[in-house]
Homo-oligomer: A and B are copies of this chain.
Amino acid sequence: MVGGAGGEGEGDDWEVGMEQTRERIVRAAAKLFLTRSYHAVGIADLCAAADVRKGSFYHFFPSKADLAKAVIDLHAAEFDKQLTAAQDEGLYAVAVAVTQVQGRFEERFGRIVGCPFGNLAAELSTTDDELRAHVADVFARWEQRLLAACRRYDVPDETARMILAQIQGLILLAKVQQRPAAEITAGLRTLIAGVTA
Count of chain copies: 2
> With an 8 A cutoff between CB atoms, is A52 at the interface?
no
Interface residue tally for chain A (C-beta within 8 Å) = 44
The reply to whether B114 and A126 form a contact with Cβ atoms under 8 Å apart is yes
> With an 8 A cutoff between CB atoms, is A191 at the interface?
yes
The reply to whether A37 and B166 form a contact with Cβ atoms under 8 Å apart is no
Which of A124, A165, A166, A190 has the most C-beta atoms of chain B within 10 angstroms of its own C-beta? A165
Of residues 16 to 47 in A, which have CB atoms within 8 Å of B's CB atoms? Answer: 34-40
> With an 8 A cutoff between CB atoms, is A164 at the interface?
yes
Q: How far is the CA of A162 from the CA of B188 in the complex (A)?
A: 9
The reply to whether A135 and B176 form a contact with Cβ atoms under 8 Å apart is yes
The reply to whether B136 and A176 form a contact with Cβ atoms under 8 Å apart is yes
If over half of A's interface residues share one DSSP class (helix, strand or loop), that class is named, otherwise mixed; here it is: helix
A161-B187 in contact given A122-B118, A126-B35, A173-B139 (Cβ < 8 Å):
yes
Q: A35-B126, A114-B126, A136-B176 are in contact. List 18 more A-B contacts (CB 8 A).
A: A37-B39, A37-B123, A37-B127, A39-B123, A114-B125, A122-B123, A123-B123, A125-B176, A126-B175, A136-B178, A139-B177, A161-B173, A162-B166, A162-B187, A165-B169, A165-B173, A172-B172, A194-B194
Using a CB–CB distance below 8 Å, which chain A residues touch chain B? Answer: 34-40, 113-114, 118-119, 121-127, 132, 135-136, 139-140, 158, 161-162, 164-170, 172-173, 175-178, 187, 190-191, 194-195
